[in-house]
Copies of this chain bind each other. A is one copy, B any other.
Amino acid sequence: MNDHVHVDPAALTKNQALVFSALSDANGPLTAYAILDELRGDGFKAPLQVYRALEKLIEGGLVHRLESLNAFVACRHPTGCSHQWAAFAICESCGDVKEFSPDKAMDLLKDWAENDGFKLAKTTVELRGQCPACLAT
């Protein structure tokens, strides 16, 4: 059903919990250094503290990295969904990011990989453009 290892949020370490909380509270994606600034009041002093926590959170499927933004978002999906195959629509006007799961498209990409003999570990799918709200204005 799901080949992804999920982390019990209650099992997060202090730093991981702080980073996850900062991302969850944010409306959109945050860069590592933005997270660092958010958490200076909690004793964070160096980027590595953020990057280390992010690494674990991403492994656990609680956070996604947006490659085209060098930024990070908390996963909004309930624990247990297919985090590995998430896709993102990124509005270039307002910065809003919407996570979705284009299962059919992902299946086709998996098929392509399989037919090519490519062992797929993860996919990055990021759509850039204008969100409906920005188009309306």
Contact = CB atoms under 8 A, between A and B. Distances in A.
Given A105-B108, A123-B128, 18 more contacts: A67-B126, A68-B124, A89-B116, A91-B118, A102-B112, A105-B112, A116-B132, A117-B132, A118-B129, A118-B130, A118-B131, A118-B132, A119-B135, A120-B127, A121-B130, A123-B125, A124-B126, A124-B128
Contacts of A102: 108-109, 112
A131 B108 CA distance: 18
B118 A108 contact: no
Interface of A: 67-68, 87, 89, 91-92, 98, 100, 102, 104-106, 108-109, 112-113, 116-132, 135
Nearest to A120: B129
A66 to B, nearest CB: 9
